[in-house]
Amino acid sequence: MKYRVVELAKINIFSSFMKSIGAFVVLVLFLMLFNSCQEGNDFSDSEELSLSFSNDTIRFDTVFTTLGSATKQFKIYNRNNNSLTIQSIELVNASKSGFRMNIDGEKGTKLTNVDILKKDSLYGFVEVTVDPTNAKNPVLIRDSIRLVVNGNIQYVQLEAVGQDVYIWKDKVVTTDSVITGDKPLLIYNSLTINKGVTLDVQKGTTFFLQNNASVDIYGSIIAQGTVQEPIIFRGSRFDNIDGNIPYDNTPGQWNGITFHAESYGNVLNNVIVKNAVRGVTFSAADIQYKKAEFANTIVQNTSEYGLLAINCYINFQNCLFANSKGAAISLIGGKYNFLHCTLANYYRWSMRQKECLVVGNVYEGKAYDLDKCDFINSIVSGSVSGELLLSGVSTVAYNYRFQNCLIKATEQKNEHFVNTVWNADPLFVNINNNKDYSYNFELQATSPAIGKADRSYSLLLPYDLKGRSRLTDTDPDIGCYERSE
């Protein structure tokens, strides 16, 4: 019995101890909660306290009319040791600017009495829709978010570039038409020119092509730009793909332009085609009829190839074909003339797959006569050791000639090459200092292409791609650009 009394005493003592511990824990939790509430409600109305922001200015790249923008995020910080009440958060000119805001899940043009605890932050979101402006050129749109805290007024500035456009989705041109270029065109899915129809595109017109959009030409396009106001086919994004690399320098944003078999009599003069998957494609045609005239035209930054022509008759003057994962130009059969052109492939987005220039007479198992392929006063260069691939077979015609050209390839001594500069660096102005993937294929002062052109041919093309005279000195330069100080 004595043993049992002792055991019961121990149990009673242990039970009392646990009850004391439990009461202590409850008290501690209560005090912590009370203290936390006290701290959370430690608001101050001192005029010396202010907010800070993750961005003082929120900038949107070009926004097309009526389509709205991507959402931009920013944060409002209270870095003070006291909590604050923001008396008002207001979009200053929301009714005119088209900006919209959302602060920590609450939408509105003006929010009042928004609490922000000490050492805490709020998320803000901003988007914008641009009203039509009937303007050809982009318009800068500004607004601001005004925040009032304890009598202090602070601002987050808002900026967007608005561009008015004609919106074409699955557009089919069925009758002869003119595009005046009064404002750009935004193309969804496709733009098709029917057989027998001519589309006249006037100077200064810009085509913004959405992802996977294509231009299909069964009829004809007459695109006559000028040096000052070229016609541009490009992707529709204006922001940066990463860091300071703009989408404007990024390949693969839209499908490209295809001239189908029925299409003849096309003219591209002072035209820029960039950022496509396949820049320009010419389907097999009848070389009795001229497929196209290219003059002062640039095709660059393509993720598959720059230009592919199968059994076509095309002339090229003062043209630049640059930077493609595949060939900058592939010619299979047909009849071609190149005068004062630059072919340069320094593609860096992934490993290259082809030489800069491919000249052959067989495509997908079918042979085509290469009646003529002349390169005069032109450059063929790039980042690999051999930039010229001659892949013709002898069973059909295979005629080509390079005269007064600078070529990066294994030297060949035969009648196909006259006055050739072999394997010399053309010394372009910028192919290496291009952290944003921008390039400049004009010539440095010490370029071996300077003064090496055949002047008799330059007389036929007295002005370069930028409109500068080739005839101011005795010996013009090879390529599409004449060296200028």
Mean pLDDT confidence for 226-253:
90
Q: Name which of 386, 451, 374 is nearest 418 in CA terms.
A: 374
The alpha carbon of 124 is separated from its chain's Cα centroid by a whole number of angstroms, namely: 28
Least confident segment among 69-78, 218-227, 279-288: 69-78
Number of Cβ atoms within 10 Å of the Cβ of 411: 9
Confidence of residue 37 (pLDDT cuts 50, 70, 90): very low
Handedness of CA 76, 77, 80, 81 (dihedral sign): positive
Mean pLDDT confidence for 317-332:
97
pLDDT of residue 13 exceeding 70:
no
Determine the pLDDT at residue 110.
94
Task: Please state whether beta strands 342-345 and 379-382 pair in parallel, antiparallel, or not at all (unpaired).
Answer: parallel
**CA–CA separation, 199 vs 173, rounded Å?**
8
Mean pLDDT confidence for 80-109:
93
Determine the pLDDT at residue 387.
97
Mean pLDDT confidence for 63-70:
78
- Provide the percentage of residues in the chain whose pLDDT is more than 90: 77
pLDDT of residue 24 exceeding 70:
no
**CA–CA separation, 317 vs 293, rounded Å?**
8
Q: What is the pLDDT of residues 328-355, one digit of tens each?
A: 999 999 999 999 999 999 999 999 999 9
To the nearest 10°, the Cα dihedral for 444, 468, 381, 474?
-80
Question: Please, is 474 exposed, middle or buried when counting C-beta atoms within 10 Å of its C-beta (0-12, 13-18, 19+)?
Answer: exposed
Q: Name which of 367, 329, 363 is nearest 345 in CA terms.
A: 329
Confidence of residue 162 (pLDDT cuts 50, 70, 90): confident
Handedness of CA 101, 103, 105, 110 (dihedral sign): negative
Determine the pLDDT at residue 17.
43
Confidence of residue 108 (pLDDT cuts 50, 70, 90): very high
Determine the pLDDT at residue 466.
96
Least confident segment among 5-14, 235-244, 298-307: 5-14
Average pLDDT over the chain, rounded to an integer: 90
Confidence of residue 451 (pLDDT cuts 50, 70, 90): very high
Confidence of residue 59 (pLDDT cuts 50, 70, 90): confident
Q: What is the pLDDT of residues 177-211, one digit of tens each?
A: 999 989 999 999 999 999 999 999 999 999 999 99
pLDDT of residue 358 exceeding 70:
yes
Helix ranges (H only) for 325-377 are none
CATH number 1.10.3470.10 is the correct assignment for the domain at 52-162: no
Domain definitions of the chain by residue range: 52-162, 165-458
Mean pLDDT confidence for 91-100:
90
pLDDT of residue 34 exceeding 50:
no
- Provide the percentage of residues in the chain whose pLDDT is more than 70: 91
pLDDT of residue 294 exceeding 90:
yes
Determine the pLDDT at residue 434.
67
Tell me the CB-side half-sphere exposure of residue 276, using CA atoms within 13 A: 29
Under 8 Å between Cβ of 156 and 56? yes
Determine the pLDDT at residue 171.
97
Cα-based distances in Å from 392 to 333, 334, 381, 400, 408: 9, 12, 20, 10, 19
Determine the pLDDT at residue 6.
39
Determine the pLDDT at residue 186.
94
Mean pLDDT confidence for 93-121:
93
Determine the pLDDT at residue 63.
84
Determine the pLDDT at residue 19.
52
**CA–CA separation, 52 vs 97, rounded Å?**
24
